[in-house]
Every structure is written in structure tokens, then in C-alpha cells.
Structure 1
Amino acid sequence: MPGSASDSWRNWGRNQRAAGIEAVHPVGADEIAAAVVGAARSGRRVRPIGSGHSFSAIGRPEDVQLVLDRHAGLVDVDATGLVTVQAGMPLHRLNAELSARGWALTNLGDIDRQTVSGALSTGTHGTGARFGGLATQLRGFELVLADGSTLRCSATQNADVFAVGRIGLGALGVLATVTLQAEPAFALRAEEGPARLPELIEGFAEFMGSADHVEFYWFPHTDRCLSKRNTRVPLSEGLGPLPRWRAVWDDEVLANAVFGGVVAAGRRVPSLIPPLARVSAGALGPRTWTDHSHRVFVSRRRVRFLEMEYAVPRADAPAVLAELRRVHEAGGWRVAFPVEVRVAAADDIPLSTAEGRDSAYIAAHVPAGTQPGAWFGALESIAGAVGGRPHWGKLHGLDVDVLRTRYPRFGEFTRLRDRLDPAGTFTNTHLERVLGRAGG
């Protein structure tokens, strides 16, 4: 099998591992198909993997792993901004390719190390009350099925598969290429500064709609937050990026090196976490700058962590945050990482966390190598009381019986999965837990 080797694997968060697997590095759809067919004939399961940035076991291989690092090229960018790439291309390279040609993606998350296919498959999103997740920018994809055939899908070709499979969890087949709709390159004017959680809860809807892309970070053990408001502006108005020294100081020294030291100190001496949280909350001062959109959307994340994120109906977010703060104070937990809060517009993708409803996202984190314990359990319980939906690539404890009640169109996806992959070639233990057995 081309590019094949016995191998072991672990994800970015270091909490998912596999050993004794066959890792295949195909080039082109034909080699992907050959690897899939060979595995299927011998009764082995296949999991495609990107950069391993999921914290859940969604990408964990059990038999054969398709690593798409050699299938990662730019295929085409046309005059209307339709960009087609091989599925293994990482987002940071795509952003650079688009920027060099005068284009940009409409919205991005704050990490760009994922592959395009991995980000799409797990429902990656950014923030913005009027903007959907990355999959809403998808216009077509090429899917390699378990029998080695290739299915081209768009709004006009295999439209039923396209409509349902835009967020596919890697359970339908292997994405070979994807086509996204870019837009003319634009800048973002970024405004960051301190805020207080009670005021943000009280004025949640107004604040989250006060700019194009808004988010905030609440530091547990305090009522302090860091707010971020990004406004879209034409490139013709000019750029005003941060001075190099300020960018290095804020984003490398304070946000990564110093914060990493804070996290390490808290792990050694948990009683230090509350006072250190107050230090962290006050470390980053107000700043305003304007730069290319992808440079503002994305932040460096050098301190490894584990994450749980729940999407809740946007109108319920203030109550969820207030209750999360209450149980945190009552629980006596030591929480070193801030809680991230974002929003997204409703969409029509069956397995999207924002399907059918405007959503708010609330994310909790713990240092890599630690057990999330009751802190993640509290978020899951509070979000669950309002029908919260977990991010597919992040940690959660739900199974198929619960998830089908959270997603009105869940059955549409599982029926398509059973039609395209009845033998379960593309499943693993985690997918069986969250989707049920293929063909069942």
C-alpha cells in the first residue's frame, strides 16, 4: 500500500492515542481509493486524520489511518472566489494562498493548524452573530466511498449528499477535495479590553451584536473578562497592525510563555490558581489595531489543553453563564484557564451545532495531562438543561440516545451514513457511541 508503515499516533492534546496501526500517506484520489478498498476487503476500519486537533476520539484509528499530509495542494481559485483544495491542506496555508490572490474566508476560528477537511468535518466555527461556521462556506466536495468510487457533491450534483454531508465527521467517506466560497480580502479592526462578567451577562445580546465578530473570555475565580470586538473594514482604508514588539510581548510572552508558567505553577500548587487567575485577568491591557482578517481571527495556542464546548440557544446563554459561575464558586474547583464565549448564526446542516437556531458557544478548558472531572461535568449538565449540543471534536459524555434528541435531523445523517457505508468501514468505537452502529 503506498506510503504505508506500522505506526503509533497521538493527538495535539495528548489525550488520544493509538498503537500498532497502519498509517498510509496517499497522494491523490486514486491512492486514497486504493487504501480504502484494500482495508475494506480485509475487514479493517479506516479513519482519515488531519492535524489531530480534536480532543474527542473522533479521529482515533483502530486499524488503518489515512494521513493526508501529502494530499494537501491548492487545486484552483477561480475569478469568483471559489477555491478548491486537496483535503489535507492546513487552514494556515489556505489563508496564505488566498491572501496572495486577494481573497479571504468569510469567518475563521481562532486556531488555523487544522486541515481544511478536519475543520469542516467536525463543525469548526468562529464567532459572529450574523455568520455561520466554516461548513456554511462549503460549495462542493469530492468523497471517496468504501467501495473506492468517487462521489462529487454540490448543490446541483448529488445534492442530497451535499446537503447532509457538509459536516460529516469522517463517517461517510474520505474527503478528497473541497470547494469553499471565498470573498474579496478584507481587514478587521480589532478592539480588545477588560470587561466584567455581570455586565456582559446582563447585556449579552447587545454586546455580542456590537461588532461583526465578538467574543469574550471569563477568568474563573474573578468576575473579570477579556473582550474582543472585530469590525470588518475595507483594505482600502489601510492597515494599522500592532508594532512588532507589542505583538511579541502580548501574544508570545504574556499569552503563551507567562500563561504557560501560570498553568504549570497552578498544577504544582493548586492553591495558587485563584490569585494567579487575577494576575492573568489583568495582564493583557487594552489594544486596538487593524490587519488582514486571517491575522486578526487567529491566535497562537502554544500551551496545550483539553477542551469541552457546548452550543446553546443564544437566548439561553446569559442564564447558562450565570449558573456556571454560581456552581464554580460553590464547587471550590481550581480552574486556571478562562472560559471562552462566542456566537454564530443558525444554519441548515443536520449535524451542525447551530442547525435551526442562533447559537452561543461556551467552552471550558483544563491543562493537557489533567482530568477535567467535575468542571466539565458541570458545563455539560448546565448546557444540557437547555438542549446544548457538544462540539464534535471536543470532549463530551453524550451518546447516540441523547444526541438524537438534541438534533432534530439526526436521522437524516445516520440514514445517509448507512447508505454510503453500510459495513462501517469509516467508523470507530467513538463514532459508534455517538452515531450508533453503521447499518444498525
Structure 2
Amino acid sequence: MTPVRWRNWAGNQRAAGVEVVRPRTTGEIATVLHEASVAGRQVRPIGSGHSFSGIGRPEQVQLVLDRHADLVDITADGLVTAQAGMPLHRLNAVLAREGWALTNLGDIDRQTIAGALSTGTHGTGARFGGLATQVRALQLVTADGAVLDCAAAANADVFAVARVGLGALGVLSTVTLQAEPAFALHMEERPMPLAEVLEDLDGFMTSTDHVEFHWFPHTAMCLTKRNTRVPVSEGLSPLPRWQALWEDELLANGAYSGLIAAGRAVPALVPPLARFASTALSPRTATDLSHRVFVSTRRFRFREMEQAVPREAVPHLLRELARLTQARGWRLPIPTEVRYAAADDVPLSTSEGRDTAYVAVHVPARSDPTDYFTTFAALAGEVGGRPHWGKEHDLDAGALAQRYPRFAEFVAVRDRLDPTGVLSNAYLDRVLGAVSPERGPVGGRPSAPGC
């Protein structure tokens, strides 16, 4: 097999000389891992490559699940089982046709189910958890080729941690999610002064079901998005196609692309152009199926750091970012995004044990974010910030163990399931520590099914 080159969506993670395998069945996944284990080779599973961190970077063998991406079953009570390589946008379309929907989604749907779960993907909504909280069962192929069926009542210790597993425990083969009857979202978008939003942040972010806002650096303005859950039976009134094309494709994506291009050519143009863009926004409303409202299209490439922080920390964090943006002379053409999520019980979820606010900062893909990201990470670290696993950060296992009360629980299961580091790479060695073989492997290897 001819070695290939790989790069992620943003282009900041690259690898060369990689062997790529595309298994079609659980049995084939098990064979790949068992053979790698015997040969002492390392395997990294990859989804869409949308992570900005090195979590998916292959070092020897890359396992791609694009041929293991079909729907398995939808039950009468909304339990949907799919092969882990299915992209979220395909799953959303299948569920909508059958009258179901996922409870919450992030704003990008290009990720595979496995990739979204493994990195802790979340949406927004003060009462709603991330995608991992919707998982009811999963099938995991471990480093030696063992196939584990995991749920609350079967391999419960593995299930507890594998809902956000970083691809470190094994390769997800199938996932069962709890869907709910299809619902619509009434969308309200309008510009607001940042000071007004921060004056009663909790009140604003809990004013309806799913709320977020995007602050434009170099300005005092933000774009607010409030989505209220309504029955589909009340009718849909989506944006006319021409309006969506004009506002989302030409104005929003076009404006960001223009800001990025202008900033690259003449950095001094970024602040006045950002101020103009923030004043050009107009209010709009629409009602459409939930997945069509949750998801946004991104036509421009960027790099991202996102930190999960206590909700009460957000006003100070944003005010400091605004002050430092001016003091440091940063030129930031892409807005900062703020979302909420409910506490959950998943050990490496960024919302484990606490109600959370997510603050995400961005730079153009071909720029150097070091000063900006390092400063933002330090500010978030002062309040116990937890970095999104799929986005850029420089923390190691020692620091992360201080921010996740159940960190050792996860690492113990990782060491047991992959005692020789078959599924590891440089990123996982940094954030989890190298494997500790003395803990010993999981019990005997079950036979692998052929489906």
C-alpha cells in the first residue's frame, strides 16, 4: 500500500507516510487492530478531520470509517443505532424523514458520529447536555481486537467513560442515541450591545431553550441567536431561499472571507471593517426543522480554541479579551462565540459536574494564533477552564487532572483496554500520559462479529 499524506480541515495538523485502511465491518475493524497490536504498530481512527487539535493525527496507520457509515436501526421509541462513520448531516436527514430528531446539535454537522462523540461535541442550551448525553449504548473495538457491547447495564465502567473517549479506548463501531419526536425551532436573530448582554448574562442565556451570541472583537456589538422549541404541527416558515443565500452565503460567509482577506493584506483594516460588519446586521426570524436551524454553513477556514468555564466567569473573560485586543494590537476578523450547556456525568466531558459556558475564539486558518490563544487559555485557566478536546490547547495530563475530578478513572480504563498504546499518538500521550502497562490488559479477547 502506498503511504499517503494527511491534513485536517484547517490545515494546521499534517502527517506523511501514513497507511490508510477503510474497514467495512466490525470484524474488519477488529482485524486491523489485532494485527496492529501483534505487530506493535499504532492506529488512529479519523472522522471528517474537523478537529483543530492533534487528536486525530495519524503516526503509522489511519483507520477511516467512511465505508462503515450506515443506519442500523430506529426503534419505535426513538433509539437510533448507526455505524460510527456516518456523518451527522446524513443522520439528521435520516431522522427527519422518519419523524425524529436529536435533542441538541452543534453548529457544524460535517463530523462523523464517532468523531463528534470522541471529542465532546456540544450545542447550546442551558438545560441541555452535549451529544454524549444522548448515547444509550455503543460497540467498541479495543486495541487487541476485542469487541465490547457497552451500555449502562453492560460493561458499565467502559460505557461511562467511552461516551467521550478521545479515540483512546478503542474504535467505535456502532452507537445508539436516544432521539425524540421531530421538533421545530423558532429562530430570532438580532444585534445587541455586548454590555447589554453581559449585564444579565444568565437571564439572557436562559431566556429560551437554545441561546448563543457572537461578539465581534474591535466592537461593542454582538449577534444574538435565540431558538425556541415549537411543535412541527404549528407549521414551518423557513427563510426564503433567496434570503438564506443572500444573508448566510453572500453576506455572512462573504463578509468573514472578505475580512480575513483584507486583514491578511492590510491588518489595520480589520477593526474598521469589523465595526462596519457588526452594524450591517439586521434582525430576522424564521421557523424550521431543528437540525436546519442548529447548523450553520462555514465556507471559510479558521483555527479555533474553545474553553468550558463556569458561567459566572464569562463577563470578566470577555471584558479582558476586549481590553487585551486593543492593548496587544491583535487583529481579529472572526467573532467570539458564547454558548451554554447543562452539567453531565461523563468523566471527560467539558461539562462534567458543572453547568458550563463555552467561549470559543478563532483566527484565520493561515495565521499564527500563539499570542492570542496562549493569553486566552491563561485567562480561562484562572477559572478552571477545560479545553475542548477537538480544539487547540497546550495542556498536559498533569494540568488536565486538576480540572477533571474523574480524570484518573478515565486513564485507568484506557490503560486497561490499551496497555501497549496501539491507539495512542503524541497528542494522547500528552493529554493522558503514556500508557501504564503494569495495570494489565482487559480480560480475554472475545470473538469479533462479522457485521
TM bin, normalised by shorter chain, reads over 0.9
Distance (Å, rounded) in 1 between the aligned partners of 2:2 and 2:432 = 30
Deviates more, 1:199-208 or 1:106-115: 199-208
Which residue number in structure 2 is paired with residue 354 of structure 1? 351
TM-score of the superposition, structure 2-length normalised? 0.96
Question: Are 1:229 and 2:226 an aligned pair?
Answer: yes
Q: Of 397, 401, 404, which aligns to 2:401?
A: 404
How far does the alpha carbon of each residue in 1:190-227 deviate from its partner, in whole angstroms, 9 at most, with x for none?
00000111111111000000110000000000011000
Segments of 4+ moved more than 2 angstroms: none
Q: Of 307, 312, 322, which aligns to 1:325?
A: 322
Q: Of 15, 18, 25, which aligns to 2:15?
A: 18
Q: How does 1:79-228 map to 2 (within 5 A)?
A: 79-228=76-225
Which residue number in structure 1 is paired with residue 253 of structure 2? 256
Does structure 2 retain, via aligned residues, the 8 Å contact 1:8–1:19? yes
Which residue number in structure 2 is paired with residue 438 of structure 1? 435
Q: Of 279, 285, 305, which aligns to 1:282?
A: 279
Distance (Å, rounded) in 1 between the aligned partners of 2:46 and 2:32 = 14
Does structure 1 retain, via aligned residues, the 8 Å contact 2:82–2:176? yes
Q: How does 1:251-400 map to 2 (within 5 A)?
A: 251-400=248-397
How far does the alpha carbon of each residue in 1:256-304 deviate from its partner, in whole angstroms, 9 at most, with x for none?
1232122111111100000111122123311000000000000000100
Does structure 2 retain, via aligned residues, the 8 Å contact 1:47–1:65? yes
Partner AA of 1:81 in structure 2: G
Determine helix, strand or coil for the equivalent of 1:69.
coil
Distance (Å, rounded) in 2 between the aligned partners of 1:7 and 1:177 = 27
Question: Are 1:424 and 2:421 an aligned pair?
Answer: yes
Partner AA of 1:148 in structure 2: G
Distance (Å, rounded) in 1 between the aligned partners of 2:255 and 2:310 = 35
> How much does 1:5 deviate?
4.8
Does structure 1 retain, via aligned residues, the 8 Å contact 2:256–2:333? no
Question: Are 1:28 and 2:25 an aligned pair?
Answer: yes
Distance (Å, rounded) in 2 between the aligned partners of 1:292 and 1:403 = 38
Determine helix, strand or coil for the equivalent of 1:366.
strand
Distance (Å, rounded) in 2 between the aligned partners of 1:167 and 1:355 = 11
Determine helix, strand or coil for the equivalent of 1:8.
strand
Partner AA of 1:298 in structure 2: V
Distance (Å, rounded) in 1 between the aligned partners of 2:51 and 2:277 = 26
Identity of aligned residues (%): 66
Does structure 2 retain, via aligned residues, the 8 Å contact 1:250–1:284? no
Structure 2: segments with no counterpart, 5+ residues: 438-451
Does structure 1 retain, via aligned residues, the 8 Å contact 2:256–2:334? no
Does structure 2 retain, via aligned residues, the 8 Å contact 1:201–1:322? no
Distance (Å, rounded) in 2 between the aligned partners of 1:331 and 1:258 = 24
How far does the alpha carbon of each residue in 1:134-167 deviate from its partner, in whole angstroms, 9 at most, with x for none?
0000001000011111000001111111112210
Does structure 2 retain, via aligned residues, the 8 Å contact 1:254–1:283? no
Which residue number in structure 1 is paired with residue 36 of structure 2? 39
Distance (Å, rounded) in 2 between the aligned partners of 1:279 and 1:37 = 57
Distance (Å, rounded) in 2 between the aligned partners of 1:107 and 1:88 = 19
Does structure 2 retain, via aligned residues, the 8 Å contact 1:201–1:321? no
Count of aligned residue pairs for this structure pair:
437
TM-score of the superposition, structure 1-length normalised? 0.98
Distance (Å, rounded) in 1 between the aligned partners of 2:74 and 2:183 = 17
Determine helix, strand or coil for the equivalent of 1:394.
coil
Partner AA of 1:45 in structure 2: Q
Q: Of 231, 235, 238, which aligns to 1:238?
A: 235
Partner AA of 1:340 in structure 2: E
> How much does 1:21 deviate?
0.7
Partner AA of 1:107 in structure 2: N
Distance (Å, rounded) in 1 between the aligned partners of 2:12 and 2:72 = 34
Does structure 2 retain, via aligned residues, the 8 Å contact 1:254–1:284? no
Distance (Å, rounded) in 1 between the aligned partners of 2:382 and 2:321 = 12
Does structure 1 retain, via aligned residues, the 8 Å contact 2:119–2:164? yes
Does structure 2 retain, via aligned residues, the 8 Å contact 1:5–1:24? no
Distance (Å, rounded) in 2 between the aligned partners of 1:281 and 1:42 = 56
Distance (Å, rounded) in 2 between the aligned partners of 1:422 and 1:8 = 28
Distance (Å, rounded) in 2 between the aligned partners of 1:427 and 1:217 = 35
Partner AA of 2:10 in structure 1: G
Deviates more, 1:255-264 or 1:15-24: 255-264
Partner AA of 2:329 in structure 1: G
